[in-house]
With several copies, the nearest count.
Chain A
Amino acid sequence: MRYRLVHLNAEYEVDIHKEQSEFVVRIRDKDYRISELVVQDNAISFRTEGKRHSIYFARDGEKIYVTLDGEYYFIELSNRTRYGSQGEEQQKGNVIASSMPGLLVKLPVKVGDKVKSGDTLAIVEAMKMQNELRSPIDGEVKKINCKEGEQVDAFQTIVEIENATIK
């Protein structure tokens, strides 16, 4: 079975197969042999590389929250066109999505506006925090998907910019 998982914008190709009572999980060309697998409710435990891991998890559709040794990993199944987070947008450059769920408090552009890299395209507010979404490129506003005062989800596309010249 093969999956493509995303963690912190890095993609991991994973291949799982069973060999007798063990599972072999191949991640980035390294094999992890998994034994003593127990999955129950919100906990999964297994042994690999000589160590037993007890991991709590929650799965919500394609999103998987995993906690291990006090650290949290937010992992997504990459089997759809995802809306990227800010970091990624700066590379991709034309889809401006909210980084968090919140209220769209300001949307100072309209379709057809010329914008410069760094211009504020939208301000989303949540939990007393304002997040400014800036244009990563020079370009023209091609499409606006939301209205001021609307509640937006994380990763929801708010504005699309048509590439002019990449600065």
Chain B
Amino acid sequence: MFKRILIANRGEIAIRVAKACKELGIITIGIFSTADENSKHLRYMDESYKVGEPPPQASYLNINAIMAAAKQGGAEAIHPGYGFLAENPRFAEACEKTGIVFIGPSSKALSLVGDKIASRSTVKKVGVPIIPGMQIAEREVTSFQKIAKQVGYPVIVKASMGGGGKGMRIVRTPKDLETSIEAGQREAKNAFGDETVYLEKYIERPRHIEFQVLRDQDGKTVHLFERECSIQRRHQKIVEETPSTALDPELRRRMGAAAKKVIEASEYTNAGTVEFLLDENHNFYFLEVNARVQVEHPITEMVTGVDLVRQQIMIAAGAKIDFEQSDISQRGHAIEARIYAEDPENNFLPCPGKIVFLNEPAGPGVRVDSGIFQAWDVPPHYDPILSKLIVWAENRDMAIKRMSDALNDYIILGIKTNLGYLKRIMGTAKFIKGEYHTHFIDENESKLRLRDSNINTAIAAASLIVMESKQGAKSPVESDGTRQPTTPWQEIGDWEICRR
């Protein structure tokens, strides 16, 4: 087993990985940008190295600086977490070259699964269904037109190196195809430095179902069942659950087998996730491989009882997976809600700032993977994720109620967060019934709006708070030195300075 691991990340995932390391008796080496000198993840590191200025390019994406820290700290392995350099083949390669173990797949497997078109053709070869569309990237508009006609409209134009919705264009009629291709290429070029786009059949109202897979260096492959991640805002998952209400045992079995095939065909080792779209007729299509530990990995841990981060480290160290597919079962139900520093009432715009008061929930079936603390100033340079609230319960109904109650107990004051919004999701009829798909947020917009019911009570509370903080203060001393006693009625003057 490794003696020293560098954790090339920050926030909750760096803490998650550090805890797994400590439990294995491994010394943890942290990195931080100058914006993170006081961040929580450093409390879990035995040693820490500064790797650069706040912008990610200068620090958490700075391969040279991170490799230097790894060398200085004597790291035998690097865990990249998620985001930042987690799926960057050049980073994996830099590790391979210096003899440091990259905790993840090889740079070769990373390159393969990172290229959407290449991975589509690999997957097709082993008989896993892919969304009908192009097999290779083409440049000619006529090729796009031909294939669009074959698969039938609507179609979607996607960036080959894409992600996060960038470079995507849905096309519903042939006349819009050409302009959409051009727009997609432009956006792809700007976002990824590569203008290659391709075309697929567009699946209406799909569910996003992914399978967690582990594969060791001997090629033993086990899946740990699905996660349903259809609740998304701006192509980013915000609520995930497992099991999915959309799968029956037979479909689950077939998708699990398909996921294992994809991982095997990609010669992929370590933990990986195979993403599928499921259409309204229960057909599933391979979407992509996420070559990292995912934000939503805890729900799989809760229902299968397998510690995924520990498995990642063990596999990277050469250990064999010591359980069989038949040992893995789903027990109960788990839901994750991602807590973001953002304003759902203002288009989910991010809201960094100081956390003035914090109370995190706890108790039966409640897990909080948190990267924050009271009095911390959330920096504006990184992803707005603050923490993850995960609940487990005997069944889905209880899990939804437990999540709702835990969200009630989760108090973050001083910055705006999506806590209230997440609670509203838990109260939505379609979510409670499990009847949802990736357009859930859009289609339930009115139901997810802050309801009026308690606004007057909140306004009343705010007025009382203002009044109390005035009355609690000492009587004001006028500039001429006379002391004026304060009574509520004398403060009516406040009214006058209000803007009309």
Cβ–Cβ < 8 Å partners of A58 in chain B: 356-357, 413-414
Cβ–Cβ < 8 Å partners of A80 in chain B: 499
Stretch at the interface among B213-221, B316-324, B465-473: B465-473
What is the CB-to-nearest-CB distance from B471 to chain A, in angstroms, rounded to a whole number? Answer: 9
Known contacts being A57-B413, A86-B346, is A70 close to B404, with CB within 8 Å?
yes
Verify if B58 is at the interface (C-beta below 8 Å from A): no
Compute how far the CA of A77 lies from the CA of B465 in the bound complex, rounded to whole angstroms.
Answer: 11
Known contacts being A8-B345, A85-B346, is A1 close to B467, with CB within 8 Å?
yes
Compute how far the CA of A79 lies from the CA of B500 in the bound complex, rounded to whole angstroms.
Answer: 9
Verify if A20 is at the interface (C-beta below 8 Å from B): no
Verify if A66 is at the interface (C-beta below 8 Å from B): yes
Whether A55 lies near B461 (C-beta < 8 A) is yes
Point out the residue from A42, A53, A100 that lies within 8 Å of B461, measured CB to CB.
A53
Stretch at the interface among B125-133, B194-202, B377-385, B389-397: B377-385
**Nearest opposing residue in chain B for A129, CB measure:** B350
Compute how far the CA of A103 lies from the CA of B380 in the bound complex, rounded to whole angstroms.
Answer: 8
Whether B488 lies near A17 (C-beta < 8 A) is yes
Whether B458 lies near A126 (C-beta < 8 A) is no
Whether B380 lies near A101 (C-beta < 8 A) is yes
Cβ–Cβ < 8 Å partners of A81 in chain B: 499
**Nearest opposing residue in chain A for B424, CB measure:** A71
Whether A34 lies near B460 (C-beta < 8 A) is yes
**Nearest opposing residue in chain A for B384, CB measure:** A127
Residue interface mask B337-353, A partner, CB < 8 A = 1: 00001110111011111
Compute how far the CA of A60 lies from the CA of B351 in the bound complex, rounded to whole angstroms.
Answer: 15
Whether A67 lies near B459 (C-beta < 8 A) is no
What is the CB-to-nearest-CB distance from B412 to chain A, in angstroms, rounded to a whole number? Answer: 8
Known contacts being A55-B461, A70-B408, A71-B423, is A79 close to B491, with CB within 8 Å?
no
Compute how far the CA of A82 lies from the CA of B497 in the bound complex, rounded to whole angstroms.
Answer: 13
Cβ–Cβ < 8 Å partners of B469 in chain A: 59
Known contacts being A58-B413, A126-B350, is A16 close to B461, with CB within 8 Å?
no
Verify if B477 is at the interface (C-beta below 8 Å from A): no
Whether B352 lies near A127 (C-beta < 8 A) is yes
Stretch at the interface among B69-77, B430-438, B449-457: B449-457
**Nearest opposing residue in chain A for B380, CB measure:** A126
Whether B499 lies near A5 (C-beta < 8 A) is no
Compute how far the CA of A17 lies from the CA of B492 in the bound complex, rounded to whole angstroms.
Answer: 10
Which secondary structure characterizes the binding site on chain A?
strand
Cβ–Cβ < 8 Å partners of A126 in chain B: 349-350, 352, 380-381
Whether A128 lies near B383 (C-beta < 8 A) is yes
Cβ–Cβ < 8 Å partners of B383 in chain A: 127-128
Point out the residue from B349, B384, B408, B467 that lies within 8 Å of A16, measured CB to CB.
B467
What is the CB-to-nearest-CB distance from B184 to chain A, in angstroms, rounded to a whole number? Answer: 18
Verify if B420 is at the interface (C-beta below 8 Å from A): yes
What is the CB-to-nearest-CB distance from A96 to chain B, in angstroms, rounded to a whole number? Answer: 15
Residue interface mask B404-432, A partner, CB < 8 A = 1: 10011001011011011001000000000
What is the CB-to-nearest-CB distance from A146 to chain B, in angstroms, rounded to a whole number? Answer: 15
Cβ–Cβ < 8 Å partners of B416 in chain A: 72, 74
**Nearest opposing residue in chain A for B450, CB measure:** A71
Cβ–Cβ < 8 Å partners of B353 in chain A: 101
Whether A99 lies near B460 (C-beta < 8 A) is no
Whether B499 lies near A79 (C-beta < 8 A) is yes
Point out the residue from B341, B454, B455 that lies within 8 Å of A127, measured CB to CB.
B341
List the count of A-B residue pairs having beta carbons below 8 Å apart: 188
Query: B31-77: which residues lie under 8 A (CB-CB) from chain A?
Result: 43
Compute how far the CA of A57 lies from the CA of B404 in the bound complex, rounded to whole angstroms.
Answer: 20
Cβ–Cβ < 8 Å partners of B404 in chain A: 70
Whether A46 lies near B456 (C-beta < 8 A) is no
Compute how far the CA of A5 lies from the CA of B465 in the bound complex, rounded to whole angstroms.
Answer: 12
Known contacts being A58-B413, A65-B356, A78-B499, is A70 close to B461, with CB within 8 Å?
no
Whether B464 lies near A44 (C-beta < 8 A) is yes
What is the CB-to-nearest-CB distance from A130 to chain B, in angstroms, rounded to a whole number? Answer: 10
Whether A46 lies near B464 (C-beta < 8 A) is yes
Point out the residue from B414, B419, B455, B498 that lies within 8 Å of A60, measured CB to CB.
B414
What is the CB-to-nearest-CB distance from A151 to chain B, in angstroms, rounded to a whole number? Answer: 8
Cβ–Cβ < 8 Å partners of A85 in chain B: 346
Compute how far the CA of A82 lies from the CA of B500 in the bound complex, rounded to whole angstroms.
Answer: 12
Known contacts being A3-B494, A56-B357, A127-B352, is A66 close to B466, with CB within 8 Å?
no
Whether A75 lies near B459 (C-beta < 8 A) is yes
Verify if A109 is at the interface (C-beta below 8 Å from B): no
Residue interface mask A1-15, B partner, CB < 8 A = 1: 111110110001010
- Chain A residues within 8 Å of B, Cβ to Cβ: 1-5, 7-8, 12, 14, 16-18, 23, 25, 27-28, 30, 32, 34, 37, 39, 41-42, 44, 46, 48, 53-60, 64-75, 77-82, 85-86, 99-103, 126-129, 131, 151, 154
Interchain residue pairs with CB less than 8 A apart (5)? A56-B413, A57-B461, A67-B413, A67-B419, A71-B451
Can you name 18 extra interface pairs (CB under 8 A) apart from A64-B466, A72-B420?
Answer: A3-B494, A5-B459, A17-B489, A23-B464, A25-B464, A42-B413, A44-B461, A46-B461, A66-B465, A68-B458, A70-B420, A71-B420, A73-B462, A79-B494, A85-B346, A100-B350, A127-B341, A127-B380
Please provide the 6 A-B residue pairs with the shortest distance between their CB atoms, ordered closest to farther.
A58-B413, A127-B350, A73-B458, A70-B408, A58-B356, A127-B384
- Chain B residues within 8 Å of A, Cβ to Cβ: 43, 341-343, 345-347, 349-353, 356-357, 359, 375, 380-384, 404, 407-408, 411, 413-414, 416-417, 419-420, 423, 450-451, 454-469, 472, 488-489, 491-492, 494-495, 497-499
